[in-house]
Every structure is written in structure tokens, then in C-alpha cells.
Amino acid sequence: MLDETEQVPVPNGGDWILALQDADGNDLKTYAFTPMELTDGEEVVGRPAVIALIVPAIEGLAKIEIRVGSQVVATRNASATAPVVQITLPAPEQGSVHTLDTLDVAWTASDADGDPLSFSVLYSNDDGATWQTQVTGLTENHYTIDSSLIPGGNNSRVRVLASDGFLGGEAISAPFFIPGHAPQVLINSPVPLATFWPGQSVVLNGSAYDLEDGTLSGSSLIWSSSIDGFLGTGTISDTVNLSTGDHVISLTATDSNGMQRSTQVNIAVVGGAAPEPILIQSSPNALSHIVFEGGAAATLELALGGSDDSSLAWEASADHAWIRLNATSGTLPAQFEVTIAPAGLDVGSYKGIITIAAEGAANAPLEIPVVLEVMQRPTLSLAPGALQYTVVANGEAGEFEINLGSSNDTSLNWQASANTPWISLDPAAGVVPATLVVRILPDGLDPDTYHGVISVAASPAGNSPATILVTLTVKPVDMYLPFLRGTK
């Protein structure tokens, strides 16, 4: 509800206050908190931090104020009415089909108070069970989604959220069809135009990613040769039985919907006795890194050597700024670090080349492919999103189940915690999908209404940590003499 930027130093815990106020500026309820400081290792001015709180709205709420001690750093006043949203695109007819490269989303919105509105657009390919945020902070009434970057589905929907800065409204489209996508396929080894001799081992290394299925492996990946046919399955295989000739090596990936995509490299197997040229060799002969959007850089090691233990001089260079070398020259043998830095890159596939020049090497310049896949972060889902329990004083504990899931069924390691001792969690950690058992323990609590928050952290989910508001109402015993058990 608040979206403010202030140059305020991050204080010690408890110095920050979120105040819910009435129309006269009187505090109805206050919450002490500590902002979550960002420590991503990059050089920044000051100490950036995030404020993310979920608190219950209360009767008479007209204003929200954030304070540091006695200093007010941000305020937001409630408007009288919430925004109203209506989606006009995709077509409102249920079951419409969208097969274009882009999905156009448009809507109308109004606010009786005349407040400026901002919008967020979300997409679901599972009838609204999970949502992927596509954009936030829009001021226009339209947005175009790149269909190649979202998973297809028979019951896809879009959701538009409108905010006047305090109150919000939303609209969800009728279900529509987005076709699935064929996998993206990469061959890391052998490298294009490589030369081999009869009996020499040829390492087959590749990968495939599917928007609907995730990473593919095993029998979903098939290696073949234009001369010798089937060679093997999986991300890594090898063969020593290639026939003499010019081969087209193919890697074909098939997803669960039967959609296929192939990629190829050309190599040669030459006849006769193998010559003994001086060859510069790298280990590994290709580099790859898969990271979620906004993820950290990866540092990989690259070793160089000569086929005859020679000490040739070499020079190295990279063709993209996201490939960084900590050494660019030397003599063989050598080892240096390659840092793949995805900072600032959008979701997508990126290919680069490290070039090794070495005068006297028969295969120089040697090109080492570098592949970077930047993927959209999964979304952590919690259902239900809030819990309420009413019980008489010293009554029985309440037990609830929270279902934890993720977009695209991505496996996420999660940890859960509660901010109050009357909330018990079992288990406190695990792997999504999972069920979290929540026990609400009213024993020893005086009659009153209590609020707690369950936080579930699951990296690298884009909405981590996700929170669940828990409300416990303890009633006096004399009000419920016939009823001594709690109610959900």
C-alpha cells in the first residue's frame, strides 16, 4: 500500500514503527519492525533495504504512517472507494485460442475518487492455481506479453490488479488456450567442425529446457549421427564407434506433450593413421550456467594444455561483457577463472565464445562456447493464505494444514517461522511441494484478539518470503459455557 523512497539510515531492530491511524491521526494499532537490508555484494550508496509487512486492516483505518523513532518518513491516506477493473483483452469469450507470438492484455479501470492508478499484470497457465507476475507499476491500460517466455496451457488466464496507493481492485479473464512450446536445446560438445580419427572418443554433452516441463534429461534427449544413426540418450554420452566421414551430430529433445526440437553440429572423422599435430586443448571444452533472473554470478575454472606437453604461448578473449576472464595470456599449461555475470540481463538464452589463440597449434584459434540461460524466478504459493481461529480461554489447540506449491512444479527448499510462540509449525523446513501443519496454542492467553505472521522463505522464488496472517480470538469462558471447543 506504501511506495515511498527516503534517504533514511537503517536503524537497529525495533526503531521502525508501522502505525495504522484513524481520520484524526490517532494511532489505532502500531507494529514495530526491522527493514530487510539488502546485501548483494554490489557497491551502492547507503544501505538499501526492503519494507514488506502484512498486517490486518482494522475498522476506522484511514491512514498508514511509517516512523523511525519520532520521525515520520512515509504516509499514505485511504481513499473512499476502491478501483474497478474490467479486462477487455484477451477476448472475454471462454475458450478463446491465442497462437500469436505475443499475448495482448488490455483493460478499463476507474476510480470514483479520481486517484491515479497503477497496475500489475499476472499470468496463469493452470486456471489460476498459481500466478506469474509479468509486470508491476504500469500506468497504461495495456501490456503485451511475449508468448515465447510463458508456459502454455488449456486453461490460461490473465489477472490485472489496480491500486490507488491504498485500496486495490482486480479482474481475472475467462480461460483461454496458449499452445505449449517445444524445448530449447543446446549442444556443448562436440564443438562445430571438430575433427576426430577412428576409435577416438567423442564426448556428447548437451542440455534442454522446456517451459512446461522444466529441465529435460534421460530418454527425453536422443543423440544421433547422420551416418551411424542412434548414438545414445541423456545430457552426457560418448562413443568411439563413429564411421569415417562427415557427420551431422543431432540432439533431439521431446517434452511430455510430444513436442520436439533438434540442434546439430558438423564434425569429421578422418581415415588413416592419426597425425600428431600440436593441439591446444581445454577442459572443459564448453561452459554453461543456468541462473534465475537477478541471480548471482558463477565462477568456473578453465584449464588449457597442449597435446604434446608443449609450452606454447596463448592469448584469450571473450566476445561478450557478461563473460569475464581473470587472465588473458600466458604459456601452456595454464588454468584461469571464467566468471559468468548475469547482472542486468533479461530472461532468455545467451551464447558467447572464449577464443584461445596459440601460434603453432594446429587447431588455433580454439573457440570455447559459453551458454547462459537466465530463467524467470518461480513463484511460491501458500494455500490458504490466511488462518482464523476462535476459542474459549484455555481451550483446545487448533490445527490447520497449509499446502506449499510452486509455479511449474519447481522444487524449492523452504523454511518456515512464526513471529509468536502461540503458533507451532511442523515441519519447519522441507522441499516444495509440501504440507505445513500449523497448530494454534491458546493455552495461557487472556481473552483478546491476537495476530501473528507465518513466514515461508524459499529461494529462489521471486515472492520469497511469502507470509500467512494468523488471527486468534480468545473468548471468555462465561460467554461460551455450552461450548468448550475451538472453532475454525
pLDDT on residue 481: 52
184 lies in some domain: no
The widest CA-to-CA distance across the chain, in whole angstroms, is 99
**Does 106 have pLDDT greater than 90?**
yes
Q: What is the span of the domain harbouring residue 459?
A: 380-479
Chain Cα centroid distance, residue 357: 38
pLDDT on residue 175: 93
Looking up cell 499476472 gives: 122
Question: How many structural domains are present in the chain?
Answer: 4
- Give the model confidence (pLDDT) of 20-48 as tens digits: 999 899 999 998 888 887 766 555 566 77
Please indicate, yes or no, whether residues 67 and 103 belong to a single structural domain of this protein.
no
- Give the model confidence (pLDDT) of 407-425 as tens digits: 877 888 999 999 999 999 9
191 lies in some domain: no
Q: Where among 32, 57, 77 does a domain terminate?
A: 77
Please indicate, yes or no, whether residues 285 and 372 belong to a single structural domain of this protein.
yes
Please indicate, yes or no, whether residues 404 and 360 belong to a single structural domain of this protein.
no
Instruction: Mention every residue, 6+ apart, whose C-beta is less than 8 A from residue 478.
Output: none
pLDDT on residue 79: 86
Mean pLDDT of 219-240: 93
188 lies in some domain: no
Instruction: Mention every residue, 6+ apart, whose C-beta is less than 8 A from residue 68.
Output: 8, 11, 15, 16, 17
- The mean-pLDDT minimum among 60-64, 129-133, 425-429 falls in 60-64
Please indicate, yes or no, whether residues 389 and 427 belong to a single structural domain of this protein.
yes
What per-residue string of b and e applies to 122-148 under the rule 16 or more CB within 10 Å gives b?
bbbbbeeebbbbbeeebeebebebebe
Please indicate, yes or no, whether residues 288 and 351 belong to a single structural domain of this protein.
yes
Q: Where among 324, 359, 376 does a domain terminate?
A: 376
316 lies in some domain: yes
Instruction: Return the CATH number at 94.
Output: 2.60.40.10
